Amino acid sequence: MKSKIFLLFIGTLFLIAACTKTQNITSFEECAAAGYPVMESYPRQCRANGELFVEEMVELAWTGFIQCPDEKPEVCTADYRPVCALKDNGLRCIKAPCQSFDAVTMGNDCTACGDAEVFGYYPGECEYRRFVICEETEKGFNITKMAEEYGWDCVDICPGNYDEYYTQIGSTACIIHYGEEEISEWETCDRSSDSCNCVKAYETTDGHKSAEEVQVENAKFRCVPEEYAERLLFRGGQERLDENGESSTIIA
């Protein structure tokens, strides 16, 4: 009799375990509520029954952010309609938020959402988008409102392949990482033109290094991207050659 009761008890446990594992999870909220581990990425993620569910970023909807559907596309066309995809880079932090995603240009929205690590995208190439951390500054500027007005993209933290810097209004902006290797690939110049903003590229964008560590040895005047020139302006001044090759230093 005791053995029958014991077997019945074991069978009940297996039944409960099976039901728990196969419960129908269809969203991040259901996954978290069911007690599955939540990854403190940005946005947060929860995995259940072999599926990954991403927390819906409702607050980003007005900036043009489009979240990928839970069901990934199986076949995509090869037409080029670039998007700036936000892709999980595998970084996890004890304290959220952390730079757990990169912003990567991909061929089209279907290709992007077909990637298991991509959770959403912005239309257009990443280099033409401006990510800012939307929070009120100590100087009283409403960055969220400014982002709406100027078409910037609000994030809680810069993408992992970007560096952050502070602007003259006290806000935090994100810039694609430019190290010495990337800077060395920019064309050198002796004057500015319609196609070249000739600025002395004297430091990298790494925001986690000291002022001495970001200095570029034997810095040269180069045709620099607009956002890089803007960063120099906000940090320590921009040494620029005009259309006649005359040098001037501009400070914000």
- How is the chain split into domains, by residue range? 58-177, 178-252
Give the mean model confidence (pLDDT) for residues 27-37: 86
- Does residue 164 contact residue 133 with C-beta atoms inside 8 Å? yes
Model-wide pTM > 0.85: no
DSSP H or E run through 29: helix 28-33
pLDDT at 62: 42
Within 8 A by CB and 6+ apart from 38, the residues are 31, 32, 44, 45, 46
- Does residue 60 contact residue 154 with C-beta atoms inside 8 Å? yes
pLDDT tens for 166-216 read 887 778 889 999 999 999 999 999 999 999 999 999 999 987 777 778 899
| The amino acid at 143 | I
Q: How many other CB atoms are found less than 10 A from the CB of residue 198?
A: 23
Q: What percent of the chain has pLDDT over 70?
A: 84
Given a cut of 80, whether residue 31 has pLDDT beyond it is yes
Decide which of 63 and 83 is more confident.
Answer: 83
pLDDT tens for 131-145 read 998 877 777 788 888
pLDDT at 203: 93
Q: Is 64 left (phi over 0), alpha (psi -120 to 50) or beta?
A: left
Give the mean model confidence (pLDDT) for residues 222-239: 88
Q: How many CA atoms lie within 13 A of 53 on its CB side?
A: 19
| pLDDT winner (highest mean) among 12-21, 56-65, 110-119, 206-215 | 110-119
DSSP H or E run through 113: helix 109-114
Q: Which two tokens stand for residue 53?
A: 């569910």
The full DSSP string for 50-64 is: TEEEE---GGGGGGT
